[in-house]
Structure 1
């Protein structure tokens, strides 16, 4: 093979994580998949911790929006959340990856976070409030990306369908006098709705809350 690049290593690691879960990603396994010795990978990543950071950075680096003072902050926040969510959903291991890594060590994540802070500041929030809003917003995007419409790593469609069936039956057979609403809504609770509805409703919920708080500050 040609020269082994950092990008090739990270992309292969993400493929393994997507197919088998993050625990399957090791330097030895990567070397085997890439047809090189483990020592060859150490030119790019000295250990698995550095590899995890590289994987997380690669996930997000294609999505970094610059703060634009000429556009409504609400519009930009929505673009930030939906864009980040779609990027993360491309890799089923993304949520686990961002949970494992120290997000402060991921340059691309820091750039997205910086934009979120700036947009919260544009909306009129204090520094302390902007910090909280940016954290809730980014964690909300990560949670939405890893929600029920996302494919889990290492699981076939057949496994996922069977798991869903078991969950639905379990909820439907709960005592209706104790859990009337869960039994009544067992199907949508398990199956959700169309992906578009799940995404837009979740983003609307996040942005609407921030808009309401901003309006309260402005009017108060």
Structure 2
């Protein structure tokens, strides 16, 4: 069980199912999510869930839609900047909001890229990013390519944050981190002095906020550099 009280069987709705599914994935990983397991967790029969989702793919679509719905895009300025000079700053803010929504759910993040265009909140995010890229002087084709890259890059930042993974067992995660650090520190100092010096930050992120801020900075600087 993922904890909490079971819902009233007569009041089981789509939002309740999605919320419990997300809690299950956060606690135990994506592999733990099955219709049967979720039904047990909710205290209902699998058929009760099939009223809301015909299969697991539809449930995953709903999880992604829910997660994208938590992205709080910043308000656009009432008056556009002269010659669109602030498009990169606005893109930075949008990517930061996107990353903030994904960070608590690294197990779900890998599902985003293939599903981002198939829900209203995903389309809203795409429209904002593509519009800003077009404002920055990119063609429709370039904007589409760069936009897809940026979504994948933010997902990668979330999934690859050192010391943070989809592994739900914190003790096991810490054990893996320590083992990776020990393996790097055991390398030959003459061959890999810099890898050894960076062993801790390569395997553990001491400041998640700084990690994401630097990552978004690099992404936006790269886009600005080719505009």
TM interval, shorter chain, is 0.7 to 0.9
Return closer, same or farther for 1:95/1:62 CA change in 2, 3 Å cut-off. closer
- 1:96 aligned to 2:104? no
Give 1:188's aligned residue: 201
Indicate which of 27, 50, 66 corresponds to 2:35.
27
Give 1:8's aligned residue: 16
Give 1:139's aligned residue: 152
**Partner Cα separation in structure 2 for residue 185 and residue 103 of structure 1:** 35
Give 1:169's aligned residue: 182
Conservation of the 8 A alpha-carbon contact between 1:174 and 1:183: yes
For structure 2, the residue ranges without an aligned partner over 5 or more in a row are 1-7, 81-85
Return closer, same or farther for 1:196/1:62 CA change in 2, 3 Å cut-off. closer
Conservation of the 8 A alpha-carbon contact between 1:14 and 1:93: no
Aligned to 2:165, the other structure's residue is in SS state coil
- 1:59 aligned to 2:67? yes
Give 1:115's aligned residue: 128
**Partner Cα separation in structure 2 for residue 211 and residue 154 of structure 1:** 35
Return closer, same or farther for 1:154/1:161 CA change in 2, 3 Å cut-off. closer
Map 1:44-83 onto structure 2 (within 5 A).
44-63=52-71, 65=73, 68=76, 70=79, 72-83=86-97
Return closer, same or farther for 1:159/1:121 CA change in 2, 3 Å cut-off. same
For structure 1, the residue ranges without an aligned partner over 5 or more in a row are 215-220
**Partner Cα separation in structure 1 for residue 198 and residue 167 of structure 2:** 29
Indicate which of 68, 88, 101 corresponds to 1:87.
101
Return closer, same or farther for 1:54/1:20 CA change in 2, 3 Å cut-off. same
Task: Kindly report the root-mean-square deviation, in angstroms, between the aligned alpha carbons of the 2 structures.
Answer: 2.1
Conservation of the 8 A alpha-carbon contact between 2:106 and 2:159: yes
Give 1:218's aligned residue: none
**Partner Cα separation in structure 2 for residue 5 and residue 132 of structure 1:** 38
**Partner Cα separation in structure 2 for residue 14 and residue 123 of structure 1:** 36
**Partner Cα separation in structure 1 for residue 163 and residue 120 of structure 2:** 25
Q: How many aligned residue pairs are there?
A: 213
**Partner Cα separation in structure 1 for residue 163 and residue 18 of structure 2:** 21
**Partner Cα separation in structure 1 for residue 197 and residue 163 of structure 2:** 24
Give 2:5's aligned residue: none
**Partner Cα separation in structure 2 for residue 191 and residue 4 of structure 1:** 40
TM-score by length of 1: 0.87
Output one character per residue of 1:29-79: Cα deviation in whole Å (capped at 9) or x when no partner: 111111222111112111111111011100111225378363521222111
Aligned to 2:174, the other structure's residue is in SS state helix
